Each structure stands twice: as C-alpha cells, then as structure tokens.
Amino acid sequence: MGLDNYWQKSDGAPASVEGKFNICGGMLSGNGNNSFRGKIYNSVVESLTGISLYEDVIDNDNCIYIGNILRNAKYSEAKKYSEYDLSEEEFNDFVEMWLSHSMNGHRLVSWY
C-alpha cells in the first residue's frame, strides 16, 4: 500500500475540479480531479516546499503556498527530487491540478 491524497472542500465534503490530468492514480484514487497517488509526488513536493503529503490534512493556505512554489519550479529541479520516472508533461499536469484545487479553496487529506 502507500499514500493516496484526496481533495476536500473546507466543510469536509469531497472536492472535484474539471480537467484532464495525466498524473498517477491508484486502485483507490483517481487522476487528479478528486484524488491522486500521493507517494509518487511526495518527494518532489516535500523537497521543494518542506511540506509532506503524508500530513493528515494540508489546509488551503498551505495548498496555495505549495502551489506557488510548484508554479515557479522548473521541471529539471522537480525531476531530480522524484523517486519515480516523472515526465515533464506529468509534472506540468500535477502543477495544473494543484493550482486548480487550491484556487478553488480545497484542502488535501492523506489516506494510507
């Protein structure tokens, strides 16, 4: 098993956004619209921001903070922190997904 992350609205209801994101999902998680396979991206996010996707809940303020760092990160920098084969398209889709959720006021919850 491993980490899956789920997006929630501030009231705890499941959150979803429109879009097609080419990111890693799992047996119990989707491809970014409402959830994703967090263990694939944790090393990148934690190395760039100092915040782990393994936190029980990442509130919206921190999601916005992470999004701003991801938006300004270069793919070459993210790739060197990745423990998996992270393509540039996948990284860009991950950033787009993250920004879309954080700008909609969502928070991130971990499950493992």
State the sign of the Cα–Cα–Cα–Cα dihedral 70, 73, 75, 76: negative
What pairs with residue 36 in β-bridges? Answer: 5
* Total number of residues shown for the chain: 112
Q: Tell me, what's the pLDDT at 5?
A: 96
Q: Tell me, what's the pLDDT at 26?
A: 73
Per-position b or e across 54-93, b if 16+ CB within 10 A of its CB: eeeebebebbebbbeebeebeeeebeebbeeebeeebbbb
pTM of the predicted structure, to 2 decimals: 0.95
Residue type for position 85? D
The residues of the chain scoring below 70 in pLDDT are 1, 27
Q: Tell me, what's the pLDDT at 1?
A: 59
Q: Tell me, what's the pLDDT at 34?
A: 95
Q: Tell me, what's the pLDDT at 30?
A: 82
